[in-house]
Every structure is written in C-alpha cells, then in structure tokens.
Structure 1
Amino acid sequence: MFVRTLALPLLVLAATPALAQEQQTPPPADTGGDFAIVGAGAGILPDYEGSDDYRWSPVPAAIGRVSGFNFQLLGNRLSVDLIPDGGGTGLDFQAGPIGVVNFNRSSIDSIDDPRVKALGELDTSIELGGYVGVGKTGVITSDYDRLSVSLSYRTDVSGVSDAGILTPSVSYMTPLSRKALVTLFASAERAENGQMDTYFGVTPGQSLASGLAAYDPDGGWKSWTLGLGTAISLTGDLTHGLQLVGGATYRKLTGDAADSPIVRDAGDSNQWMGVVGLAFSF
C-alpha cells in the first residue's frame, strides 16, 4: 500500500528529461524522444496502514516514454498515459489506466501488534482503474519547472473489498541545476464503504479474538499526504547516468479511519515514511 508513495522520489526524475543546466551551457530541448529511468531503494514504512510499528521494504521503480506514451511502475502501482507526449513546454494532458497491488495486512508475519495479528490475514487486493491529469512545464522558477495535478479512481476487482478509492493529487518539481532537483507533492484519499470496512472495520468475532472494540466505519475521506523528494546526479547529469534519490512523506489518517480501534488503540493516525535509493537514466 505504501510502496507507491515511497517511490515518488523516483518519479520526480521523469518530470521532464530536459533539465536546467548551469547558465553558461544552454539546456537541451525535450524533443519527445524515448527514455527510461530504472531505480530501486529501501523504504521504511508502517507495518500496516495505521500502524505505529515500522519495517524496511524494497521499493522498485521504472519510468519512461516509448513512442510518445509515458509509463510509470512505482512500487506496487503501474500506470500508462495513453495521450502521446510530444515533449517541450506547455500543457501536457494525461489519461490512462492504473493498476495497484494492495498488500495492506496481507501478511500477519510482518505485523508486530498481537491485537492486529488476531484480526486475521487479508488477501492481496488487485485494484484497477484510471486517471486524468494535466501538467504545465515552465511555471514559476524557470522554463523547466513543472506543476501537475491529477485525479485517479481505482476499485478492487479481486473480491477483497469490492470498493474503490478516489485520489486527487498535485506535485511541483523544480531543477536546482542539471545535477539536482527537488519536488513537493500532496494527495488525499476518499475511500468507499467497502474499503473502510475491510481495512479499518472490526467485526464482533474479530473483537472477541483481538480485544479491540467492534467498529463499523463509513466511507469518506480517510487520509491526506504531504511529501518531499530529491534527486542528485552521481555520474553525468540527471538526463543520463546514476542518481541518488531520496524522500519522505507524512500521511494523516482522518475521519472514520483515524477513529478505528486498529488505528486509535493499536496504532497511530500519524504515518511517516522515507526512502533512499539509486536510479539510472538512459
């Protein structure tokens, strides 16, 4: 569940393959050609959504453009932009499919809290949907910074929750030089009733097994997230070669999600996540 958020520092490398250089060297134009960025990192994240125990997890990512179509594999999330991107400045409209593999509470061996373990293991959920968005290059600091907004919806198709999540998000990337950039991002999640019941509800039977109070949440806004990411070139520049990437996010669970005994009594509504890794551009 959290791997997608942790992979966002790798996403900033794909904001534009044409990054600002030192002033004495004109930056290359983004001609809309093919490119790829692959990376992997180590992330620290809660045992489950709402936990106050943390663990390390690998975070893979692959981002690129093929024949004008952008793709992103960010941890447990895959998306493809079906509107061809010709490169350059101006508006970039985006729309396409997304798929998420939700591992939340799918392995009780990775959960430390005995009360949450006693709730039982959930099946891994396959969530499919789509997104729309728009990005603008050349906004505030230079011709190469980028502001993007998007709205996505995905729903479980594997029979785990049979419900969906709506996610609005916004991100801003600015290069500091040809060798470094930073990004800021924010998002929120609105979950349908089945999602809330599955991941934050406690049935009477589970209450007897775990000692947590029985709880029947309603759907609604369940969280908001703020994050910061950075990338620094180690060889060459950010358009090719090896980069060090890192970032951190803060997620706040809200509404019925925050009031769940799984969070209020066994965990924490304040969720911190971090990642550090390497990426290679070519």
Structure 2
Amino acid sequence: MQRIAMAGAAGLLFVGAASQVHAAEPARYSGIQQDQSLPTNATDGGYEFTIGGGIGYSPRYMGSDEYRATPALNLALQTPIGVFVGLGGIGYRLSLPAGFFLSAALSYDGGRKDRAKGLDSGSDKLRGMGDIKGSVFTTLQAGYAIGDVAVVSVATDIPLTNRDRGNVYRFAVDGVIYKSAADSVGIGATAHFASGKYAQTYFGVSANQSLNSGYRQYAPGGGLYGVSLTANWTHKFTKHWSTTVAGGVMRYTGNASRSPIVFNKTNYQAAATLDYTF
C-alpha cells in the first residue's frame, strides 16, 4: 500500500514532493498529518493558511521493513465557509447543530510501485507484483466534535478512477490532551477496515503475481486490517511561526498481517516541519 494506514488529527504535513501528494498509504493514514476536514478553532478573520516544510521518515509501503527519509511539505487552508485544503484533499465541511459535521473531499493517491523509485511508494521486494495505478478518490466523513477537546469520526475513501483497487473505511477518535498559548499536544487512535478488493490489491498475491514474484498465492479478504496510534506537538514561536513534530505507529492485524508481502507487522512514521501561518 502506498501509505502506512493510520489517521488522525495530528501534525500538519504532506510527506513527499509537492508535485506528488502522498495522501494515502503510508502518509495519509499514518495520522501524522492533520485532517483538515475535522472541525478546528477558526481564527479571528475566519481564514487560516499554513505553509511549511521539513523532513519525514516513513516505510516504503504498508508492511515494509524498509524505511526512507523524504521531504515534508505542509500546506493547509481553512475558511469560514467550510472549504478546506489539507490531508483530506480539497473539500467542503458542513457544520451541523450540536457538534455534528459532514465533509466531502477530492484527493489523489499515487498508488504503489513494484520497485524502489524516488519518492514513490514501493520497493524492490515487490518485483513481479506489478504497479498499483494512481487513483483520484473522494473521502466522505461524518463525525461529532466534543467541544474543542475531541472528535469522533467515521470516514471512507472511494476511488473514482481505477476503482478496482477497492475502498477503505476508518473509525477514529482524536483529541487534544494539552493546550497553552504556545503549545498544543494531540493524540489519536484509529481502526482501519478494507473492502475485499482493497485487501487483495494491497495485501493479496494473485496467481499471476505469485508466478512472477515468487511469493505464495494469498487472498486476504476484507475487514479490519490495522489499528494506529498517533501523537503530535506544535510549538508557536510567534503569532505566525511554529514547528510541528509528529509521529505514528501502525499495527497490521488479521489477514493483512499474514500477507507474504508484509515483512513487518508494525510500521512507524515521524516528521517535523517549520511552518508559517497567516
């Protein structure tokens, strides 16, 4: 899979090059990036734009035992009319009474290569497995905000192109455990579920793939495939300048953990950015 599967409202970053949004696996669900579709405290003017950069460290693909350092780009926009740009792509959030909300967004996932190639998700250990093509997808989300302390949400990613890759579903709880004028610490926990197609695409080995790669044939089936925990710390130096340090751990479970291409059942990811907000 292209991204470590972990979600949450944690640090603010897009891991990878600006020209290629690593918004799915492993970066998207690692939870080390803040989900812009979640409710936030609006600024006085109602608009908030953040841009920054730094460095990230992540596995080459979901279940990989190989890691790499990558550039980290932070780009996030919040508006008072519900439009947002961030981890969830470009989308719209509808605030409902009593703390409930709905959101929909469009984004792009670059897929996975069967070789190590630049910043792309993939590894030479996947030779013969073939590439997973990139896909434009929509993320639909519903949730409940408990004041400004925690958010409980459910979400699904549905591919609009290359639809055979399948869908993913998430149940997440994100919260702020400490907040002061200069510092904010957040944590998150997420359960990740896959459709049968998605599980086969990212964890399965077809007969043809088995012949070409040498891995045993494997059909994992859908269901819970991982749980993740995330944490982030943001420190404000001034009104505009801040830094974010974030990390996440993903544990693959069930049929996914038994896949012949999952070399490590536990993946880690971390990143740090220096950001400017206005």
Q: Structure 2-normalised TM-score?
A: 0.80
- The answer to whether residue 115 in structure 2 is matched with residue 108 in structure 1 is yes
Q: Using the TM superposition, give the Cα deviation of residue 211 of structure 1 relative to its aligned residue in structure 2, in angstroms.
A: 1.7
Q: Structure 1 residue 10: deviation in Å?
A: 4.8
Task: Name the SS for the 1:228 alignment partner.
Answer: strand
Residue in structure 2 matched with residue 22 of structure 1 by the alignment: none
Point out 4+ residue stretches in structure 1 off by more than 6 angstroms.
none
Residues 152-183 of structure 1: CA distance to partner in whole angstroms, max 9, x if unpaired?
Answer: 11212212535211111110014442111100
On the 8 A contact 1:155/1:162 being kept in 2, the answer is no
Q: Post-superposition shift, 1:84?
A: 4.6
Q: Counterpart in 2 of 1:268?
A: 264
Which digits, 9 at most, give the CA deviation of each residue in 1:96-152, with x for residues without a partner? Answer: 213342234236233775441221222112222311112122xxxxxxx52111111
Name the residue aligned to 2:128.
Answer: 118
**Which of 175, 182, 188 is matched with 2:191 structurally?**
188
Partner SS, residue 40 of structure 1:
strand
Q: Is the 8 A contact 1:10 1:245 kept in 2?
A: no
Does residue 1:99 correspond to 2:106, yes or no?
yes
Give the AA of the match of 1:109. A
Q: Does 1:256 align with 2:255?
A: yes
Please identify, of 149-158 and 57-66, the stretch whose mean Cα deviation from structure 2 is larger: 57-66
The verdict on how the C-alpha distance between 1:7 and 1:39 changes in structure 2, with shifts beyond 3 A counting, is: farther
Partner of 1:2: 26
Contact 2:48/2:77 (<8 A) preserved: yes
Q: Does 1:80 align with 2:91?
A: yes
What secondary structure does 1:226 align onto?
strand
Deviations 1:34-90 (A, max 9, x none): 22223333211111111010112233333333233152412xx315343258xxxx9
Q: How far, CA to CA, are the matches of 1:216 and 1:121 in structure 2? A: 18
Counterpart Cα distance in 1 of 2:213 and 2:229: 32
2:35–2:86 CA contact under 8 A, matched in 1? no
Change over 3 Å in CA distance of 1:193–1:11 after alignment to 2: closer
Equivalence for 1:27? none
Q: Distance in 1 between matches of 2:146 and 2:128?
A: 48
Asked if structure 2 preserves the Cα contact closer than 8 Å seen for 1:92 and 1:135, the reply is yes
> Paired residue for 1:280?
276
> 1:51 aligns to what?
64
The CA distance in 2 between the partners of 1:177 and 1:99, in whole Å, is 33
Q: How far did 1:276 drift?
A: 0.6
- Counterpart-to-counterpart distance in 2, 1:7 and 1:211: 33
CA displacement at 1:206 relative to structure 2: 1.7
TM-score scaled by length of structure 1: 0.79
Distance in 1 between residues matched to 2:149 and 2:65, nearest whole Å: 34
- Structure 2 residues not aligned, in runs of 5+: 1-24
Number of equivalent positions = 250
Rg larger in 1 or in 2? 1
Contact 1:6 1:43 in 2 (8 A): no
